[in-house]
Chains A and B, each alone.
Chain A
Amino acid sequence: MDYIANGFLKALNLIVSMDMELYKIIALSIFVSVSGTLISALFSIPLAIFLGLRNFYLKKVYTRLLYTFMSTPSVLVGLLVALFLSRRGPFGWMQLMYTPAAMIIAQFVLVTPLMTGLVFNIVNKRGKLIEKTGRLLGARGIDLLILIIRELKVEITMALLTSFSRAISEVGAVMIVGGNIKGHTRVITTSIVMFNSMGDYEIAIALGLILLLISLLMNSILYGFKGDRQ
């Protein structure tokens, strides 16, 4: 039992000790997941709004498919992205394997169905009314898109935060395409796996605590938003 308590104490010590290696790991985690999520947002939000507003042939089938992709295991995404990015793969010439860019791509692929699905759901429920109101007042094209995003900004932000949480907490994809290279592609989750296998529980616990802290922050923002609405 002692080593757990000790682990926690040393973990707290590490967090406040300005250990540069630890901070680098945290910084890269945030950088990779924020980038992956934001790039995905640029793509998924307009797509989800388009899909949510339109009625098209076999919409229900596509929706089902989208919901299935929402829960794709991250290792599978990692594997697929690795196949494309490795030196022998079709995009090998870009030399992205084992770089943060590869990790961002993997997380982009991972969260895009999730974010698209979440936003699609919201737009499906409330989007048509907003669209009609906008059209009746003369909005078209980009104005209409902005209007819908602004009207649904609370829900869309929640979808964004949910996607970010998924991105920063997944380990399978970044492990495969990043390779957990010290100082380059080592993030919180891959380090936890590695330090655990090395028996370095203190630093593993420290990183776990930080991951928890980030989740806590995300949740308090979510609650903040919900509070605003009431």
Chain B
Amino acid sequence: MNIRLKNLEKKFYKKPVLNIENLEFTKGLTCIMGSNGSGKSTLLNIISGNLNYENGQVLYNDKPFTKDIYSSMTLVEQKPYMLSRSVYDNVAYPLRIRRYTNREVHTKVEEILQNLQITELKKNRGDELSGGEIQKVALARALVFSPKLLMLDESTSNMDKKSLENVERIIRNYAQMGNTVLFVTHDLNQAKSLTENIVNLQEV
């Protein structure tokens, strides 16, 4: 999916927090960097349709926001909210509301849990996990319905080193499969190791 921002302007209580003249994200992995308060999270929230803006335009494949786009993208935040049910049911949730059959749900969920190496967590309750575990489950819950646009907002910050290697590999693969991945991170080394596409946001 192709995302184009034109003259995008966002203010909080009359104070401008985002001002982008022209920016385009294409297929593949893009890392977004910038100091605290440069509006990285704000940007992702706007693209994901969770925040409105004063001026400008956000175009998805050159079209405005529609229902189809809505259900083919997602955003994983730094501290995602876990539904108060099992890890399995958390990951299955996006498939169930898309009315997949139980068999399809089962196959897809088991596969993604295995990929992220969290199969042994599947019976644990979503609201009883550690920070790193939550981030992995949230990632699984996002990847399971294969969104064309995947946005990650410091989504790996609490993971241990071993998990991180695996997760980075998965993210890279996912981007190479023709999906658009926007990854907000603080860590320049991580960004460099992941991609050459790095966008630096300046404070307004």
Contacts and interface: CB of A to CB of B under 8 A. Distances in A.
Do chains A and B make direct contact within the complex (CB under 8 angstroms)? yes
Q: Please tell me the size bucket of the interface on B.
A: 20 to 34
B145 interface: yes
A132 B74 CA distance: 11
A135 B94 CA distance: 10
Interface in A142-163: 143, 147, 150-151
Contact of B71 (A129, A132, A133, A138): A138
A136 B75 contact: yes
Most chain A CB inside 10 Å of its own CB: which residue of B74, B80, B81: B81
Interface in A137-192: 137-140, 143, 147, 150-151
A130 interface: yes
A28 B85 CA distance: 37
Contact of A136 (B74, B85, B98): B74
Most chain A CB inside 10 Å of its own CB: which residue of B84, B94, B97: B97
A139 B74 CA distance: 11
B44 to A, nearest CB: 10
A134 to B, nearest CB: 8
Contacts of B25: none
A118 to B, nearest CB: 19
Given A129-B81, A151-B83, A151-B84, A137 B93 contact: yes
Contacts of B67: 140
Contact of B97 (A130, A143, A151): A143
B145 A138 contact: yes
Q: DSSP majority for the A interface? A: helix
A140 B70 CA distance: 10
A129 B82 CA distance: 10
Contacts of B74: 136-138
A133 B97 contact: no
B141 interface: yes
Contacts of B76: 136
B75 A138 contact: no
Interface string B79-100: 0110111000000011001100
Given A132-B50, A143-B97, A137 B84 contact: no
A138 B98 contact: yes
Contacts of B75: 136
Contacts of A139: 97
B48 interface: yes
Most chain A CB inside 10 Å of its own CB: which residue of B49, B67, B93: B93
Nearest to B81: A133
B43 to A, nearest CB: 15
B67 to A, nearest CB: 8
A138 B97 contact: yes
A170 to B, nearest CB: 33
A151 to B, nearest CB: 6
Interface of B: 48-50, 67, 70-71, 74-76, 80-81, 83-85, 93-94, 97-98, 141-142, 145
Given A138-B74, A140-B71, 16 more contacts: A129-B81, A133-B81, A136-B48, A136-B75, A137-B74, A137-B97, A137-B142, A138-B70, A138-B71, A138-B97, A138-B98, A138-B145, A139-B97, A140-B70, A151-B83, A151-B84
